[in-house]
Amino acid sequence: EKGTYPFYMLKEIDEQPTVMRKLTQEYRDEYGNVNIDSQLVNEVAASDRIYIIACGTSYNAGWAAKSLIESVTQIPVEVQLSSEFGYNMPLLSEKPFFIFLTQSGETADSRQVLVQTNQLGFPSLTITNVAGSTLSREAKYTLLLHAGPEIAVASTKAYTAQIAMLAILTQAVGELKNSEASLSFDAFHELSIIATGMEAMVDEKDYLSNLVKQYLSTTRNAFYIGRGNDYFVASEAALKLKEISYVQAEGFAAGELKHGTIALIEEGTPVLGIITEEKTGPHTRGNLKEVESRGANTIVLVTEDLARPGDQVILPKVHPLLTSLVAVIPTQLIAYYASMQRGYDVDKPRNLAKSVTVE
């Protein structure tokens, strides 16, 4: 039930700190260790490459988790779109492990890949919010997101739950492989800091609603830019904005703008820069200056340690490879208010279904 909330999406955005804590409850044993089927952890650890297969927001969640998984487990990760991978399967490694990310567990594009990987005899894991769903039944292993039903078509809490779930799995695999990075990575500790940070972000509703009024109320297009993990959040932020507000939005690798897309910048085009990385932050700021000098209205979303006077949205500092979990929250709210202020049905955008069961 959405209770006093005008739309499920807002309720689901608000639930994210609770979902982070719930995942910790579900997957931490009484000694503080990761409690995941050891056979699953063994199989992932024994693989020479992890293939993450997903669509839409779940695909963006795969990208957001890639660098953490690689750094802690030392296993290379490929993130692939289900609808492409199934028909043009790339050359696979010798011991692949497949992870299907799917909120609904019913996405036909992802299922057709699972059918093929099963035929090829490769091990697979479905990470899903729906127990007993098709992809959960057909994969060798399942990990549940425990996020509670996600009703709004625009996915929010499933995105953050998927990244958090992958972080927990990453810790288990890293520990088994005894990797150096795993010694200093405590997923549960990081998720507790993140839950607190998320709470601070969901409290910024009025501020973000006003920001949307100021910069995004009448615009027909908008850009999110960032580098590294901030680029992956930019992609998710743009998907959210376009699917519910119908603003033509694109997420761009900040450095790539000047190789073509900058031609689209006009007087008043909103460009939102996401900055959570110390090494790339100054470069993204440089790109924001470039678009500003061509008339863009720039908005900076930045972690507190890298903030400068005048920056509009300040993000709490969390683990450097998990910043997407907090950076995405204001972008979800920005999409929400852009849709609501235009008077649309936020939960049921045109042309879209909650689960896409055709290929």
From candidates 103, 284, 331, 339, binder to ligand M6R by CB under 6 A: 103
CA distances from 115 to 55, 69, 98, 168, 266 (A): 16, 25, 12, 26, 47
Compare residues 104 and 136 and give the one whose CB is closer to ligand M6R. Answer: 104
The single residue listed with the structure tokens 């490694």 is 93
From candidates 9, 55, 300, 321, binder to ligand M6R by CB under 6 A: 55
354 a catalytic residue: yes
Compare residues 183 and 353 and give the one whose CB is closer to ligand M6R. Answer: 353
Query: Which residues in 340-359 contact ligand M6R (CB under 6 A)?
Result: 352, 355-356
Compare residues 117 and 155 and give the one whose CB is closer to ligand M6R. Answer: 155
Among the listed ranges 49-57, 91-99, 224-232, 307-315, the one in contact with ligand M6R (CB under 6 A) is 49-57
Among the listed ranges 10-18, 53-61, 193-201, 306-314, the one in contact with ligand M6R (CB under 6 A) is 53-61
102 binds ligand M6R (CB under 6 A): yes
From candidates 15, 243, 311, 347, binder to ligand M6R by CB under 6 A: 243
Q: Using DSSP, state whether 200 is helix, strand or coil.
A: helix
Helices 157-177, 187-202: axis angle to 10 degrees equals 160
- Calpha distance 120→131 (Å, rounded): 25
Among the listed ranges 7-15, 96-104, 197-205, 216-224, the one in contact with ligand M6R (CB under 6 A) is 96-104
Q: Is the CB of residue 237 less than 8 Å from the CB of residue 60?
A: no
From candidates 58, 179, 312, 324, binder to ligand M6R by CB under 6 A: 58
From candidates 47, 57, 324, 339, binder to ligand M6R by CB under 6 A: 57
Q: Which residues contact 253 (CB under 8 A, 6 or more apart)?
A: 225, 226, 227, 231, 234
CB of 102 to ligand M6R, least distance (A): 3
CB of 99 to ligand M6R, least distance (A): 13
- Calpha distance 225→233 (Å, rounded): 9
Residue with the shortest CB distance to ligand M6R: 56
12 binds ligand M6R (CB under 6 A): no
From candidates 16, 23, 43, 56, binder to ligand M6R by CB under 6 A: 56
Compare residues 263 and 358 and give the one whose CB is closer to ligand M6R. Answer: 358
Q: Using DSSP, state whether 208 is helix, strand or coil.
A: helix
Compare residues 72 and 247 and give the one whose CB is closer to ligand M6R. Answer: 247
Smallest Cα–Cα separation from 320: which of 185, 166, 178, 183?
185
Q: What angle do CA 277, 326, 235 make, to 5 degrees?
A: 70
Smallest Cα–Cα separation from 325: which of 314, 317, 337?
317
From candidates 13, 50, 64, 153, binder to ligand M6R by CB under 6 A: 153
- The overall longest dimension of the chain from CA atoms, in Å, is 57
- Residues in the interface with ligand M6R (CB under 6 A) total 16
Q: Using DSSP, state whether 133 is helix, strand or coil.
A: coil
110 binds ligand M6R (CB under 6 A): yes
From candidates 79, 154, 202, 265, binder to ligand M6R by CB under 6 A: 154
- Among left, alpha and beta (phi > 0; psi -120 to 50; other), residue 120 is alpha
DSSP string, 81-128: EHHHHTTSPPPP-SSEEEEEEESSS--HHHHHHHHHHHHTT--EEEEE
Among the listed ranges 32-40, 149-157, 221-229, 269-277, the one in contact with ligand M6R (CB under 6 A) is 149-157
Q: Is the CB of residue 147 less than 8 Å from the CB of residue 130?
A: no
107 binds ligand M6R (CB under 6 A): yes
Residue 28, H or E segment: none
Residues recognised as catalytic: 354
Binding site for ligand M6R (CB under 6 A): 55-58, 102-104, 107, 110, 153-155, 243, 352, 355-356
